[in-house]
Amino acid sequence: MAELKQEEGEEKKSPKKLIIIIVAVVLLLAMSGGAAYFFMAGDSANGEKVEHGDEDESGVPVEKLYFEMTKPIVIDFPKGSSAKHGRITVSMLVEGAETIDVLKKNEPMIRNNLLMLISAQESSMLNTREGKDMLRKLMLDEVTAVLVKMAGKSKVNEIFFTSFVMQ
């Protein structure tokens, strides 16, 4: 009888130890996974997204950053269009922080030119993917032209729509 009680006591302790070991292993794996993500994915500063890409003339890697225009571009389409209003939010992939400074300095001219460009488009064309891709290319050309005019060079690589609403 004493042996039976002793065996039952050992069985009760064993599952507790097993549960504690399993929990410790799971926590260890979760912490190591979080640490790996932190070190592998953490390459941005001050909320700006950073990509490393090509090299400049001196062989130094060029830092690629995303610049988001401060306000959405709001458009009123002409009467008879399939949509009356549009609201577009734009981000740009640029090379270096200097380009962001130039974009901020010239944002009023860029906004004006983009407003004129977008409002001249047919809203029915902007409902298609091809129309949106064409608009992105036209917008990139317009931003490039402004930066070349104002700063002598443009290092804007791509334009992205982060929001595109038409009513």
Per residue in 121-147, pLDDT (tens digit) is 888 888 899 999 999 999 999 999 999
pLDDT (tens digit, 9 = 90+) per residue, 74-117?
Answer: 998 888 888 889 999 999 999 988 999 999 999 999 999 999 99
In the prediction, which pLDDT does 33 show? 76
Q: What is the CA radius of gyration of the chain?
A: 28
DSSP codes, 12-45: HHHHHHHHHHHHHHHHHHHHHHHHHHHHHH---B
Picking from 87, 73, 75, 78, the residue whose alpha carbon sits closest to that of residue 143 is 73
Residue type, position 133, single letter: D
Beta-bridge mates of residue 45: 48
Is pLDDT of 30 > 50?
Answer: yes
In the prediction, which pLDDT does 12 show? 52
CATH code given to domain 50-166 = 3.30.479.30
Burial 2-23 (b: 16+ CB within 10 A, else e): eeeeeeeeeeeeeeeeeeeeee
Q: How confident is the model at residue 47 (pLDDT cuts 50, 70, 90)?
A: very low
In the prediction, which pLDDT does 46 show? 39
pTM: 0.63
Give me 161's structure tokens. Answer: 């729509």
DSSP codes, 108-144: HHHHHHHHHHHHTS-TTGGGSHHHHHHHHHHHHHHHH
The domain spans of the chain are 1-42, 50-166
Give me 164's structure tokens. Answer: 């595109």
In the prediction, which pLDDT does 8 show? 53
Evaluate whether 73 touches 146 at the Cβ level (below 8 Å).
no
